[in-house]
Amino acid sequence: MDIFQKCADYTLADEIKKQGVYPYFHALESRQDKEVIMEGKRRIMLGSNNYLGLTTHPEVIEAGIKAYEQYGSGCSGSRFLNGTLKMHLELEKELAEFLGKDGIVTFSTGFQTNLGIISSIVGHGDFVICDAENHASIYDGCKLSWGRMITYAHADMDALRTQLAKIPDTAGKLIVTDGVFSMGGDIAKLPEICALAKEYGARVMVDDSHALGVIGKGGRGTASYYGLEDQVDIIMGTFSKSLASLGGFMAASKSVVNFVMHNSRPYIFSASMPPANCAAALTALRIIKREPERVQRLSDLSAYARKGFIKRGIKIIESDTPIIPVYTYELENTFRKAKELYEEGVYVNPVIPPATQPGNCLLRTSYMATLTEALIDEALDIFDRVLKR
């Protein structure tokens, strides 16, 4: 059988395109901002992870340009060899201080970060225990490891306990959870997770991709939000969201950082973070430290949007984060409503299986600290028209 036959047989995307409701790969013609030009028309951006709005901050842009001029366009090698810049070390030092951890190791992308951490830490005879709604990169990191992955029903602490109880006392155990879940916007039950980890001799890793710059003291993430910094062993995060760049990091003890740096294949065999990306992330971090009010502004605007949806009778998943999903239930309805919103000037992200359960499709909206109440009202009025049409 021809291995490419599966490619020829894949027709789903083409079928959706024929219906005129294909929602992906819309081309931006402007900066990633609260309002964008997308395919020739103004759209209010309610589908970005640029939570603090720093991708257009003059200092961030200037830092990237200067790094490009000073260091060139890339490092042409891995961090393990010729690809370490002094600026990489500065970013790691300042981020470690910000998060209250002994050490940081940075990766070239967020997806690669989860691959690199889990595949190196979880070995033969070890177990990694995952929330069912963890990010795809966590699942793939587990697949690359030599250990065994076990999942538990989303946010179900009884199910987590049941799974932990099955694991031999002699086995290594790592519980991995999103801090803020990327599709639902809910926050992990970290106090209960940490308590169970202590009871069963497990370690805890939190993916804070959607929590850094969003929750916790000054945007320090999920462990800070609960006051559990000393009970979370590994904090993973990305630079592509609140830190307005590209890349990822792991914050942990010096021994764990040292081990991952010398054993993680995605780290050792990938080119390092380009200079401009590193400079942008470092500058964004300094702005967050200097202006913690941005985090509060994001929280206030998210609360404003939630109240606006509820006031208009639109069913949402309620949370305390800037991710507010709107129920659209069926696949076809989700694609059609996403298209109608797009045509009327609001960009959102449709969420369909396997990212959600069948029959529970969503329109994922997300918010930036640079939005205004007036723009949110305009967008919600469009939502109201489209969903009740």
Catalytically annotated residues: 182, 210, 241
- Report the candidate in 316, 305, 332, 380 with the shortest Cα–Cα distance to residue 23: 332
Question: Which residues lie below 8 Å from residue 9, measured CB to CB, with a gap of 6+?
Answer: none
123 and 171 Cβ atoms separated by less than 8 Å: no
146 and 181 Cβ atoms separated by less than 8 Å: no
Q: Which position has the token pair 């999103």?
A: 178
249 and 107 Cβ atoms separated by less than 8 Å: yes
152 and 163 Cβ atoms separated by less than 8 Å: yes
Indicate the length of the chain as a whole number. 389
Tokens found for residue 101 = 């951890």
Distance in angstroms (rounded) separating the CA atoms of residues 81 and 104: 18
Distance in angstroms (rounded) separating the CA atoms of residues 120 and 237: 17
Distance in angstroms (rounded) separating the CA atoms of residues 339 and 51: 23
In this structure, what are the phi and psi dihedrals at residue 180, rounded to the nearest 5 degrees? -110, 120
